[in-house]
């Protein structure tokens, strides 16, 4: 009797977990589409570069990953994605402007320009991975990754590449999109600080 009951119970539990995961996916991704990247407090760098730069945010993505994927040694979280926000069209312009404002305040470059010619061109791709953890027993984990490529604006040739990462811990259970706002902002802030700290300390840039 015990055997005949164990199979259906396990199946029911698995179906319930799958349904819960789908609900979390829809809720998290819908909420992130409205997340505002808040003004990022920053202290001007003591290692500014003597170049002007045109900076473009080419891609922004928010993904849900397998529970506890952020605990795995493999750093390629894209291998564990279970869902992607279909469109960040509403959020992307605001996020891009927040990053440009951050750069202007940090003063990494002598000047950040829009259309006029610049000494350097830089493209940035910003991704946020949300780990819902296991069965809502542990805190949500938010990991931000920023990929940056510094280019010669005359021919587009890549001069150097950088990766910045940041991590923040959210609530155990999420009660609304505001639960995502602060940890996403913390993770992105840390990733930007990591990337531009590496760029400013790159001695190769002293002799371009």
Yes or no: say if 196 and 106 are a contact pair by the CB < 8 Å rule: yes
69 vs 201, more confident: 201
pLDDT of residue 154: 92
Instruction: Quote the CA–CA distance of 64 and 77 in Å, as a whole number.
Output: 10
Instruction: Quote the CA–CA distance of 78 and 174 in Å, as a whole number.
Output: 23
DSSP string covering 142-193 = EEEEEEEEEE-TTT--EEEEEEEEEEEE--SS--STHHHHHHHHHHHHHHHH
Global pTM value: 0.79
Mean pLDDT score of the chain: 80
DSSP 27: H
Radius of gyration of the chain (CA): 20
The hierarchical CATH code for the domain 2-207 is 3.40.50
pLDDT digits (tens, 9 = 90+) for 41-90: 889 999 999 999 999 999 998 888 888 888 877 678 888 888 776 656 67
């Amino acid at each position: 009797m015990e055997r005949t009951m164990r199979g259906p119970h396990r199946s029911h539990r698995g179906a319930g977990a799958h349904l819960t995961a789908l609900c979390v996916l829809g809720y998290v991704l819908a909420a992130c589409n409205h997340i505002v990247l808040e003004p990022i407090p920053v202290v001007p760098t003591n290692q500014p570069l003597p170049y002007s730069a045109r900076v473009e945010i080419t891609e922004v993505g928010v993904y849900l990953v397998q529970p506890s994927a952020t605990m795995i040694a493999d750093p390629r979280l894209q291998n564990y994605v279970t869902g992607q926000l279909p469109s960040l069209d509403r959020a992307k312009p605001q996020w891009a402007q927040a990053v440009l404002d951050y750069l202007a305040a940090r003063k990494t470059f002598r000047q950040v320009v829009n259309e006029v010619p610049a000494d350097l061109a830089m493209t940035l791709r910003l991704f946020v991975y949300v780990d819902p953890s296991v069965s809502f027993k542990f805190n949500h984990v938010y990991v931000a990754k920023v990929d940056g490529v510094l280019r010669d604006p005359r021919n587009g040739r890549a001069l150097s590449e950088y990766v910045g990462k940041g991590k923040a811990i959210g609530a155990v259970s999420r009660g609304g999109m505001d639960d995502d706002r602060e940890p996403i902002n913390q993770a992105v802030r840390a990733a930007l600080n990591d990337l531009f700290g590496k760029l400013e300390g790159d001695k190769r840039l002293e002799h371009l």
